[in-house]
């Protein structure tokens, strides 16, 4: 029950912050008012500016981890600005003398399309060691444009741009008139099997696994020699306007509350849309790809996730549409993106066991494809 207790305590903190925030003004500018707020995480002001915040107690997760070229536990981390205009963070294995080519993961972070960065400790502490645990050449984590300044499909465009950059890397260029690759990118080029690229994403990043794969399936620009071999949706952020039973009955967690589901997704979709859109609705997302050649998908669901029911609904709808989707549920008192809560993973036996099982499931899926 450790991870659930974490979440309930955090929800109380957020409620307290909401009461305090309601009595505060938007700085000293009398013409600048708060028009929308996601408690503890984000404020949207009347002049269009956005303030992203960190709730008390979440600072360890939002701490920025700087890149490092000296190996730590056999992994190096590099930030790269690509010629396609998207920034990526590379997690690479320590160089080997005669490396066999291994798969590559392209990672999309969560945050309801509105908050978080790949450089947060929340992601680093899971994805840096994951390189070795999965025995992949590297993980390419995309710095996504954030809503509401950059509403969807901006994040989809960035994810697709990362795939086009990988294509250029595989062809020994960075997309800028064949310019030489940076040393870290050269390592990726030399060790990666570009015919086995897997998309992976947490929460709303799981939605992007689906959406970017769909974009690649219908886009006219060829990705060869890059081939999408599969997608891994980790507790994706699917939801509909009509709340599911899990949203109404399951407790909030450290990283997901009912308010976050309602407000972040509304700020992320194009103006005039709501959660009943192909970006967020499990049924509409599946219907939108009915006639596309989608890669096989692994869908990971947490039993106590607020979005448990829409996630399961997505898997069922995809199978009904003729797609290959394997749904695996992490049983017990584990909630939304539990595996990223490194405090719970270290202190709670159930969370640690379910995280290990999740990693083993991802590895088996990659090995099969």
Residue 216 counted as domain residue = yes
Higher pLDDT, 19 or 154: 154
Q: Are strands 297-302 and 228-234 parallel, antiparallel or unpaired?
A: parallel
Burial of 182 (0-12, 13-18, 19+ CB in 10 A): middle
Residue 6 has pLDDT above 80, yes or no: no
How much is the average pLDDT of 156-163? 97
How much is the average pLDDT of 118-138? 97
Residue 38 counted as domain residue = no
3 state SS of 97 = coil
Residue 81 has pLDDT above 70, yes or no: yes
Residue 27 counted as domain residue = no
Higher pLDDT, 2 or 50: 50
- Per-residue confidence (pLDDT) for residue 96, from 0 to 100: 72
- Per-residue confidence (pLDDT) for residue 187, from 0 to 100: 93
Asked if residues 134 and 362 have their Cβ atoms less than 8 Å apart, the reply is yes
Domain span at 192:
65-368
Asked if residues 344 and 6 have their Cβ atoms less than 8 Å apart, the reply is yes
How much is the average pLDDT of 306-335? 98
Asked if residues 253 and 336 have their Cβ atoms less than 8 Å apart, the reply is yes
Grade residue 97 by pLDDT with cuts at 50, 70 and 90: low
Q: Write down the mean pLDDT value for the chain.
A: 91
Higher pLDDT, 269 or 93: 269
Residue 239 counted as domain residue = yes
Q: Distance between CA 220 and CA 217 in Å, rounded? A: 9
Residue 160 counted as domain residue = yes
- Per-residue confidence (pLDDT) for residue 16, from 0 to 100: 37
- Per-residue confidence (pLDDT) for residue 99, from 0 to 100: 63
Paired residues of 256 in beta bridges: 253
Residue 16 counted as domain residue = no
- Per-residue confidence (pLDDT) for residue 100, from 0 to 100: 85
Q: Which of 15-24, 113-122, 125-134, 140-149 has the lowest mean pLDDT?
A: 15-24
- Reported as a single tens digit per residue, the pLDDT across 260-316 is 999 999 999 999 999 999 999 999 999 999 999 999 999 999 999 999 999 999 999
- Per-residue confidence (pLDDT) for residue 248, from 0 to 100: 96
- Reported as a single tens digit per residue, the pLDDT across 204-255 is 999 999 999 999 999 867 899 999 999 999 999 999 999 999 999 999 987 9
| Tally of structural domains, the chain | 1
- Reported as a single tens digit per residue, the pLDDT across 39-67 is 999 999 999 999 999 998 899 999 999 99
- Per-residue confidence (pLDDT) for residue 15, from 0 to 100: 40
DSSP sequence for 3-69: HHHHHHHHHHHHHHHHHHHTT--STT-TT--EEEEETTTEEEETTS-EEE---TT-HHHHPBPPPEE
H/E segment holding residue 368: helix 349-368
DSSP sequence for 156-211: HHHHHHHHHHHHHHHTTS-SSTTPPPPHHHHHHHHHEEEEEEEEEEETHHHHHHHH
DSSP sequence for 237-289: ----SSPPHHHHHSPPBTTB-HHHHHHHHHHHSPTT--SSSTTT-HHHHHHHT
Residue 153 has pLDDT above 70, yes or no: yes
- Per-residue confidence (pLDDT) for residue 84, from 0 to 100: 82
Could you tell me the CATH number of the domain that includes residue 131? 3.40.50.1820
Grade residue 11 by pLDDT with cuts at 50, 70 and 90: very low
Q: Distance between CA 103 and CA 196 in Å, rounded? A: 5
Grade residue 28 by pLDDT with cuts at 50, 70 and 90: low
Residue 36 counted as domain residue = no
In the chain, the percentage of residues whose pLDDT exceeds 70 is 89
Residues 302, 308, 312, 318: is their CA dihedral positive or negative?
negative
Residue 14 has pLDDT above 90, yes or no: no
Residue 37 counted as domain residue = no
């Amino acid at each position: 029950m450790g991870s659930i207790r974490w979440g309930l305590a955090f929800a109380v903190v957020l409620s307290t912050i909401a009461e305090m925030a309601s009595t505060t003004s938007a700085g000293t500018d009398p013409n600048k008012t708060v028009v929308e707020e996601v408690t503890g995480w984000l404020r949207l002001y009347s002049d269009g500016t956005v303030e992203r915040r960190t709730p008390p107690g979440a600072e360890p997760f939002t701490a920025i981890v700087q890149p490092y070229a000296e190996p730590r536990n056999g992994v190096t981390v590099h930030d790269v600005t690509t010629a396609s205009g998207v920034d990526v963070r590379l997690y690479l294995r320590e160089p080997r003398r005669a490396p066999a080519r291994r798969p590559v993961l392209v990672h999309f972070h969560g945050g309801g399309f509105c908050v978080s960065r790949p450089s947060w400790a929340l992601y680093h502490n899971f994805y840096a060691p994951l390189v070795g645990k999965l025995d992949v050449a590297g993980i390419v984590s995309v710095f996504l444009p954030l809503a509401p300044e950059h509403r969807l499909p901006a994040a989809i465009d960035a994810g697709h741009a990362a795939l086009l950059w990988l294509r250029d890397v595989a062809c020994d260029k960075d997309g800028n008139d064949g310019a030489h690759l940076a040393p870290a990118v050269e390592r990726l080029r030399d060790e990666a099997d570009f015919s086995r690229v897997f998309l992976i994403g947490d929460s709303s990043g799981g939605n992007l696994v689906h959406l970017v794969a769909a974009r690649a399936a219908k886009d006219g620009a060829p990705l060869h020699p890059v081939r999408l071999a599969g997608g891994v949706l980790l507790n994706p952020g699917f939801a509909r306007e009509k709340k599911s039973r899990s949203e109404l009955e399951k407790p909030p967690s450290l990283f997901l509350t009912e308010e976050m589901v309602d407000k972040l997704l509304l700020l992320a979709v194009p103006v005039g849309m709501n959660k009943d859109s192909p970006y967020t609705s499990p049924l509409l997302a599946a219907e939108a790809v009915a006639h596309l050649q989608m890669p096989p998908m692994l869908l990971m669901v947490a039993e106590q996730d607020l979005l448990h029911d829409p996630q399961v609904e997505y898997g069922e709808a995809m199978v009904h549409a003729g797609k290959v989707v394997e749904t695996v549920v992490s049983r017990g008192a584990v909630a939304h993106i539990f595996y990223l809560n490194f405090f719970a993973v270290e202190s709670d036996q159930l969370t640690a066991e379910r995280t290990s099982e999740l990693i083993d499931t991802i590895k088996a899926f990659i090995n099969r494809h």
